[in-house]
Amino acid sequence: MYALIDCNSFFASVEKAFHPGLRGKPVCVLSSNDGCIVALTPEAKAAGLHRGEPIFKCREAVERHHVKVFSTNMMLYAAMSKRVTGIIRQSIEQVENYSIDESFCNLDGYERHYDIEDYMRQVAQRITTWTDIPVSVGVAPTKTLAKMGSKFAKQYRGYRGVCMIDTDEKRRKALELFDLADVWGVGRRSLEKLHSLGVTTPLQFADKPLPWVRNHFSKPGYQTWLELNGHPCIDTAELVSRQSIGTSRTFGDMVCTLDYLKAAVATFAASCATKLRAQHSVAGTVTVFICSNPFRDDLEQYSNAGTALLHVPTADTIEITEAALGVLGAIWNGRILYKRAGVMLGAISSDACVQQKLFDPIGNRPERQDLSRTVDMLNQRYGLKTVSLAVEGESVQPWKVHCDHKTPNYLTDIREILTVRI
């Protein structure tokens, strides 16, 4: 059996944990640059707010219902996520972090010693007691069904935080009630294809014969079909390692100078390289895009992108940044005021086996790898961007995002430690 522990409205729940006076009140968290709503509490949903909605469009509702608004603080959320994971690992041996607010747990063998439903309810209660973060738990024979169970646990209070799909009768009932668009592994194109084939519920898809599935779908669709029928086959560690890696931002203020744009692109490239090393991967291509503000009709509009091929797949910050800046120089237009830029890494593969080239222009790769690992260690120990490339510039620049409602880094910065007055 697998369990998925999902933190409810995680970003908003973290903010409420550090602001006890907000319990039971509407709260929402904004995206970078305080643009759109990315997380909100049930009370905020009841006030008519929706995820993805630009904040300027719902300002009246925010003021009328006294909704508390916060800027995204990923450092704080990551620190709290680490605490939640630590609590889970104290109770369950095999834990796999799937995202910042989701963890899969392998419960094989636990049924011989515990009532799994009660045991997972105790784990969920411990998380809430120790962190004030509410969680929903789904337990099922496969990870896809476990994710489905966690959504039912979140939606219906009768489950008391844990939905267990442990019989075929429960599985079929869950598949009949669940929305096909919300099934893990069913994307937009897969959904359109299923609808064109007359499939409108997960149960209808699961009941299709094996030859039909193999005739209409590739491996991911076939794996989803197996999981819906109770046969585990998805390796989430493999899925995470294969995902594309990118960093992009909408600038706080529009920029027109190449130096500021270089600083932004270099910062994004360094962030991508750090993520790449964290999952023990390397990239073969670097893509950079830049664009103007599409909402300013009074300004000249421009957008462009370019891709550079790396000589050898790498996770080296310096090499990736140099490639990104080379692409930026090729697509730069000096007449434009820029509002957004981003860096994407492609052709991602494992760093366990990298094909070398005879005429590699970089002759000290082992030393460069040691340098990157040392920088990562220093930044993890002393704080993000303690060590960075000079081209990334100073901490205060026009392109930096606006965070006018940001909660201090209570858990990671001694200068911002929480002060309690009694």
Of 110-119, 283-292, 362-371, which range is least confident? 362-371
Distance, CA of 300 to CA of 294 (rounded, Å): 9
- Tokens standing for residue 91: 């109770």
Query: In this model, does residue 130 exceed pLDDT 80?
Result: yes
Q: 103 has which bridge partners?
A: 5, 97
Domain chopping of the chain, boundaries: 101-236, 258-392
Distance, CA of 148 to CA of 357 (rounded, Å): 46
The answer to whether the beta carbons of residues 367 and 242 sit under 8 Å apart is no
The residue with tokens 């891709």 is 307
Distance, CA of 141 to CA of 157 (rounded, Å): 22
Of 55-64, 208-217, 396-405, which range is least confident? 396-405
Count of other CB atoms within 10 angstroms of residue 82: 13
Distance, CA of 183 to CA of 147 (rounded, Å): 8
pTM: 0.79
Q: What's 147-212 look like in SS3?
A: HHHHHHHHHCHHHCCEEECCCHHHHHHHHHHCCHHHCCCCCHHHHHHHHHCCCCCHHHHHCCCHHH
- Position 102 scores a pLDDT of 94
CATH number of 258-392: 3.30.1490.100
- Tokens standing for residue 327: 């692409």
Confidence of residue 384 (pLDDT cuts 50, 70, 90): confident
The answer to whether the beta carbons of residues 368 and 332 sit under 8 Å apart is no
